[in-house]
Structure 1
């Protein structure tokens, strides 16, 4: 497009951020608080820059906080507030959402927080410990430690120790401080290992100490005496928790995700929960007086465990979990748009609900051999039998009640796996071709619309067909069992199972008969395709090529119909809108672009902070889902075109997109962005589009359609009982002339000079409409009297037009009204009102008009204009109806 410099965009005109799915926890330890009024425990976890609050009894999310400028590094809570450290600033949240106080004063990143009464204690990685007034935000005490001799790594308040805090260091020593007097009370030499955790036990003076070497020390700080110690074989202690509902149990977490339970009376290990988390256990907390324990970890999981097993073991009661590694492939499952299937680098296949989190499903990890995994034969490790990460998948809901409805391809594996969505398990079949090389890998997969077959393309060029019910091989495409001479990059089938389309790295696009496996057409591409997407309803096939261009083919005519260029990186995903009008693509250049297929133009483009790797449009068109690099969540974007008019314009070639914030920001920021975008992009229609067209008014039909039937309407609405006379008003109260009686008060001077005898001229007062008509007759502009009529109801319009004959014997008002109708017809605006007003005018004054030759001549000219205008409209109507009839007959 010609132009000088690059044009800057104004964000997305089609999509706005809505929310993020699948984010529950990270490496930051959670905070647990008890609400006195609700009598319920609440769990607070950090997710990036926000805090999520869940109720423990259902693990339902109850609040999402406003976002902070930096990622949250530590969370703590007291009875009233929730404190979050982000960078060098500590923020206090009220009602789990709003920031009510900021504590600024640290020079390094804050890594520890401890609420203590009316104070908040914070420690940073530079050795600085500050005691804050929690309500006022002022510094109460400032302590400075040398990180080389005493690096603060743990902090706690011993029970019943007034104004005392216990600090642990990476050097192994512990110090007990009085924060009121700013004095060091005692120094504990330690156990020659760095302190990672300090935890108060149910017994006074007894503290649990976790070390970096895996030792757990139960120490009496009043006597400075070690009561007992345990050693964990899984590395450093990441968390400690004491059980308070009876049995003397302490739980310790490890970096491998295991949890050990130690009996303090017998001084032995009583149970262990292996693989409680797939990453390090960030925190473990027992609920006060209940046999429940809450844990969270960096694997994006929150779990609640209940201790009702024999021997003191725990079982999982409820959980919330997302992907522990970034998702790579996403797709909507079903036609209602409520569930999104997601495959991640962690090897799991999960389903996220856009309605409520309780409908989420985790289909789990795939297994090479279920029986071997259960028996753990031949010394196989826990992860040895797991399938690698899913690279591509296809799903269908047609026969999901009868057999497996999901087929997946895995990294480095030839066999494709089946999954059952309803049972949330891996399926019964591993789809393997009869003969192939060992280094062959399954690359692309598609399930037919009937749900009976699946087509799988491999890296050696094979394209095989399998029956999903039995898992049997039903043939392959190509004469020598090879459909392509290179890697198969995409496969698809049409709605009626008549065509199979394949694309390979040999830059060929081939069309095959589904049943006979015979090739029909072969098309040469400009470059090797990266991926392929078919919109079955419209027959549009989109191909993303390695040269960052897009090509769209019509599978009916087998011809290239659109070609798009604009991305500056690998195109990672594509999706069609439900009506097939838009093609939405995401690429490594961090842009999300929307292409309009009918016009062949780019109509929307915006940047995101992280490169998107997957995209899927809801079958209902309400949400766009995206997955991004290094992000564990699925981001939903609202389609603004469903909520109101959106002005879409073709974007120029040098368009510079603006970055959009990923969903999850505060609602206020979103509303401001939407308001500014709508103001810039709203299309304003012209008053009149053309001389041959007419424009209708925006008034309801009742304002002009019932003008000729007012007498019938009044007769029907006649009351059964006579109306009650209102209270008589003062006789000499002056009024303002018009249809609506309005009283006016004369000034004191006017009351003295005003005569009580009315003059003859005051008896013949004109209405506002009649006065406006006379003024418009002189000026030639009839906008003001027309607006007065628009503001009136049908009865008021009838009264105004009836009053035109009572203003005098001359016909000036008649002529003015006829000229007003003539101006309305000549401009083409308010076409319906002009005919309604003219019909009522003729009905009321036709007898008087017939005796006035000047008025009759004017009406004759008006009639000629009416006939000419209607002839043009009727010709347009006839042409449109003829074209519509032809189109309907061609479709039938």
Structure 2
């Protein structure tokens, strides 16, 4: 046995290349597996550790809140056990020790070494029971063990006396045994099998009292009674943890245990995933387990399965609806009526669902043609649902009453996709007949017909920009203008069937996934491929968050939903064209909050303590030489805005109103004044003015006097920059200084201008900035504040009886500069207005 301590599991090839735009964040929806869980008691609290593939989760038993997530191991976990603060995990021929989700030690057994001595001593050998033992559990009674066998037999034996005490038989292999400890005068045992059944036995009466048929959808890994509590915890391969409470037992009468708490997720591969609502906090997904689920990315406790109101005569799996292939949802009417439609494999109707009640709805929408439903959509207002059938007919239903309202005919093949615009004016459909048809919803007539060179399999509309994307079997994504029907973009590059695509909320990006395991991001304005990466598992479906912060994906060999963060919201990312052959392999997000990007040649996770030379190198661009966007456009004919946030100059324009609104009810106490003989410099924060001290003490009584007069000599920073700029003809340092100040600092600097001569210099600086065509927005804001504060000074200094160029007529000079500012501003606004008119009329 070899021990390695204090080592962290990290990829051998740490982030060399990866996605420029998306970062792995976490995987949601993974709760448990067929590997048995472990219960750990620490004082009054209890914790449950469950396996989730190649990692584990630790939950608080009282609340079932997720506390810790273990590291990612190189392969699937075979078994785990918790002891005090440590969790020991067995992976192949290695045992790892973790504390609070962090790896602290590794024990590796080499099969090449010989075993020289067995440190074991035989204490007891029982007789043979004829069937292989599958489970052993210590009972609360001394020397008594519960034995489970492959043939379903359960035997309680006294190992010290080698005597069989009780014997039971259940259906199927015994997968778990546990004993209840909170009863004083009763003895209770619970067992389980691989079919998901739980059996409750009364040991005093030696009989079964409760048969919980179908407690789980699949094999149960482990069951445990909590010490001293009437709580039974079970977990299984259906990705579910359940707490059952026995709170109705009295006087020897047994009743069915009540479901107290549970956490669950999909236990089969997800098929479709979409964000729900405009907040971007909830996700709806369907999977091969025949379920529809609502996940919360904020709180796992809010994730739930939509109820199908299953009957009690059949098992859950047999009575569920077939697999959901597609679905559509709208948030607008969720409190009034059903707001979800689903497409099921082989069904000739579409059931409605309600997000408000988390259950199947009132209606089964049956098309008039009684044909299999192939596609669905819901209008943005939530009043109408659309069903596309195998015969090429689209039918509109009222979501409140479930009554058919309109029928749209024109396709000769099965409908593969339906979309509606945001004004309920046009309906877009694609079909196996290689056409896209625009229907007028008002009269069901065909408004436009587009012939496609290949069969379309998917259609998606971005309602804000009126862009219609169509996926075809020739592996090309075509983007059309949803109003005119003109082809505006065409993207090719995928090497296998395209599984899904989604628009970014602003309509600038189009993200697609394919069976070639790549996820590509296309920039619509330029038509370039701006990001590509390959994932370790084939992506099946994806969707962009309405808040632009997350991309959610589901994959072929994973039951979880993977979240990817949009890095452009948190850091500056160079968006430029990428080579589609420069593809790196990225592992899907783990359950923990950390990326795990690996090189294509090194897929195996290994222990590595070396620090990477450059962990942020992306696509050959190192940290030392990042790709940076230009601060200002250098072409002299183009006008640019500042890099300051819009809220800054908006606050500057309304600073008086904000200060009045935020004025405290009780006036603030003035700070304690410094002694009168200590001079201070002007500014937002008082500072001692050490520059006014005596240079040559004792030489001049007036110079060395502690009382200073002559306030006209005070000069603020803005005045200094204005004077130096007027001499050089370059005011760039002034505006650079103003850009570093806070809103209150800018307001103070402008208000500190105390003469008309300085106001003239300030106006000339604004004119210089406008002619430079830079920082246009802030130059206008500075000018607005100056006119509001010093407008009366400018009017008082203006004299009609003197020449405008006269040195004594400062107001006239200011008027001339302001007239030039007005002319330059109107010229630039005219250019903007002209471009807007061209775009509008085109």
With the shorter chain as reference, the TM-score category is 0.7 to 0.9
Q: Distance in 2 between matches of 1:886 and 1:775?
A: 43
The correspondence for 1:659, drawn from 585, 596, 617, is: 585
The Cα offsets for residues 346-401 of structure 1, whole Å up to 9 and x where unpaired, read as 0011111223223223114586xxxxx4556xxxx764443211111122234333
Q: Distance in 1 between matches of 2:429 and 2:670?
A: 82
The correspondence for 2:331, drawn from 387, 391, 397, is: 397
The Cα offsets for residues 726-782 of structure 1, whole Å up to 9 and x where unpaired, read as 4979xxxxxxxxx9755999xxxxxxxx99989xx999xxx9999999999999999
1:575-594 aligned within 5 A: 575-594=502-521
- 8 Å contact 1:20–1:636 — kept in the other structure? yes
Q: Distance in 2 between matches of 1:224 and 1:203?
A: 15
Q: Distance in 2 between matches of 1:395 and 1:365?
A: 17
Compute the displacement of 1:297 (Å): 0.5
Partner of 1:73: 78
Is 1:13 equivalent to 2:52 in the alignment?
Answer: no
The correspondence for 1:441, drawn from 331, 349, 372, is: 372
Partner of 1:5: none
Partner of 2:3: none
Is 1:387 equivalent to 2:330 in the alignment?
Answer: no
Q: Which moved more, 1:780-789 or 1:242-251?
A: 780-789
- 8 Å contact 1:688–1:694 — kept in the other structure? no
**Structure 1 residues 365, 88: closer, same or farther in 2, change over 3 A?**
farther
**Structure 1 residues 876, 464: closer, same or farther in 2, change over 3 A?**
closer
How many residues end up aligned between the 2 structures?
A: 759
1:721-870 aligned within 5 A: 726=675, 742=690
Secondary structure in 2 matching 1:490: strand
Q: Distance in 2 between matches of 1:722 and 1:325?
A: 67
Compute the displacement of 1:514 (Å): 2.5
Is 1:528 equivalent to 2:471 in the alignment?
Answer: no
Q: Distance in 2 between matches of 1:862 and 1:61?
A: 67
Partner of 1:219: 157
**Structure 1 residues 265, 549: closer, same or farther in 2, change over 3 A?**
same
The Cα offsets for residues 584-631 of structure 1, whole Å up to 9 and x where unpaired, read as 222222222232333333333333221211112233333222111121
Secondary structure in 2 matching 1:184: coil
Compute the displacement of 1:81 (Å): 1.6
Compute the displacement of 1:424 (Å): 2.5
Secondary structure in 1 matching 2:490: strand
1:284-295 aligned within 5 A: 284-295=223-234
1:603-614 aligned within 5 A: 603-614=530-541
**Structure 1 residues 691, 442: closer, same or farther in 2, change over 3 A?**
closer
**Structure 1 residues 783, 313: closer, same or farther in 2, change over 3 A?**
closer
Larger Rg: 1
Q: Distance in 2 between matches of 1:252 and 1:429?
A: 41
The Cα offsets for residues 112-164 of structure 1, whole Å up to 9 and x where unpaired, read as xxxxxxxxxxxxxx999xxxxxxxxxxxxx7888xxxxxxxxxxxxxxxxxxx
Partner of 1:250: 189
**Structure 1 residues 626, 820: closer, same or farther in 2, change over 3 A?**
closer
The Cα offsets for residues 30-89 of structure 1, whole Å up to 9 and x where unpaired, read as 1111221xx222111122333222222222222323433433332211222222223333
Is 1:351 equivalent to 2:282 in the alignment?
Answer: no
- 8 Å contact 1:404–1:418 — kept in the other structure? yes
- 8 Å contact 2:639–2:774 — kept in the other structure? no
> Larger relative contact order (C-alpha < 8 A, sep ≥ 6)?
2
Partner of 2:346: 412
The Cα offsets for residues 806-853 of structure 1, whole Å up to 9 and x where unpaired, read as xxxxxxxxxxx9x9999999988897999999x9xx99xxxxxxxxx9
Is 1:514 equivalent to 2:441 in the alignment?
Answer: yes
**Structure 1 residues 886, 362: closer, same or farther in 2, change over 3 A?**
same
Partner of 1:232: 170
- 8 Å contact 2:231–2:244 — kept in the other structure? yes
Secondary structure in 2 matching 1:183: coil
Is 1:84 equivalent to 2:112 in the alignment?
Answer: no
Secondary structure in 1 matching 2:489: strand
Q: Which moved more, 1:870-879 or 1:323-332?
A: 870-879
The correspondence for 1:241, drawn from 178, 188, 196, is: 178
Is 1:595 equivalent to 2:522 in the alignment?
Answer: yes
Q: Distance in 2 between matches of 1:605 and 1:413?
A: 37
- 8 Å contact 2:480–2:489 — kept in the other structure? yes
Q: Distance in 2 between matches of 1:11 and 1:542?
A: 26
Q: Distance in 2 between matches of 1:768 and 1:341?
A: 60
Q: CA RMSD in A?
A: 5.3
Partner of 1:97: 101
Compute the displacement of 1:526 (Å): 1.7
Q: Distance in 2 between matches of 1:556 and 1:515?
A: 16
- 8 Å contact 1:582–1:595 — kept in the other structure? yes
Secondary structure in 1 matching 2:382: coil
- 8 Å contact 1:366–1:386 — kept in the other structure? no
Partner of 1:477: 408
Q: Distance in 2 between matches of 1:556 and 1:778?
A: 57
**Structure 1 residues 219, 103: closer, same or farther in 2, change over 3 A?**
farther
**Structure 1 residues 681, 615: closer, same or farther in 2, change over 3 A?**
farther
Q: Which moved more, 1:199-208 or 1:518-527?
A: 518-527
1:358-377 aligned within 5 A: 358-365=301-308, 373-374=311-312
1:688-703 aligned within 5 A: 690=636
Q: TM-score, normalised by structure 1?
A: 0.71
Partner of 2:629: 683
Secondary structure in 2 matching 1:875: helix
Q: Distance in 1 between matches of 2:587 and 2:463?
A: 33
Partner of 2:828: 876
**Structure 1 residues 698, 741: closer, same or farther in 2, change over 3 A?**
farther
**Structure 1 residues 413, 862: closer, same or farther in 2, change over 3 A?**
closer
Q: Distance in 2 between matches of 1:453 and 1:741?
A: 73
Partner of 1:468: 399
- 8 Å contact 1:89–1:102 — kept in the other structure? no
Compute the displacement of 1:446 (Å): 1.2
Q: Distance in 2 between matches of 1:660 and 1:234?
A: 42
Which runs of no fewer than 5 residues in structure 2 stay unpaired? 1-14, 598-611, 654-668, 679-686, 706-714, 796-804
Compute the displacement of 1:255 (Å): 0.8
**Structure 1 residues 669, 537: closer, same or farther in 2, change over 3 A?**
closer
The correspondence for 2:278, drawn from 316, 323, 335, is: 335
Q: Distance in 2 between matches of 1:516 and 1:306?
A: 59
The correspondence for 2:362, drawn from 428, 439, 444, is: 428
Q: Distance in 2 between matches of 1:785 and 1:409?
A: 64
**Structure 1 residues 432, 797: closer, same or farther in 2, change over 3 A?**
closer
**Structure 1 residues 782, 548: closer, same or farther in 2, change over 3 A?**
closer
Q: Distance in 2 between matches of 1:578 and 1:697?
A: 23
The correspondence for 1:569, drawn from 496, 506, 528, is: 496
- 8 Å contact 2:771–2:824 — kept in the other structure? no
Q: Distance in 1 between matches of 2:195 and 2:215?
A: 9
Q: Distance in 1 between matches of 2:737 and 2:352?
A: 72
Q: Distance in 1 between matches of 2:734 and 2:398?
A: 76
The Cα offsets for residues 273-296 of structure 1, whole Å up to 9 and x where unpaired, read as 111111100000100011111000
Partner of 1:618: 545
Q: Distance in 2 between matches of 1:884 and 1:788?
A: 34
Q: Distance in 1 between matches of 2:832 and 2:320?
A: 63
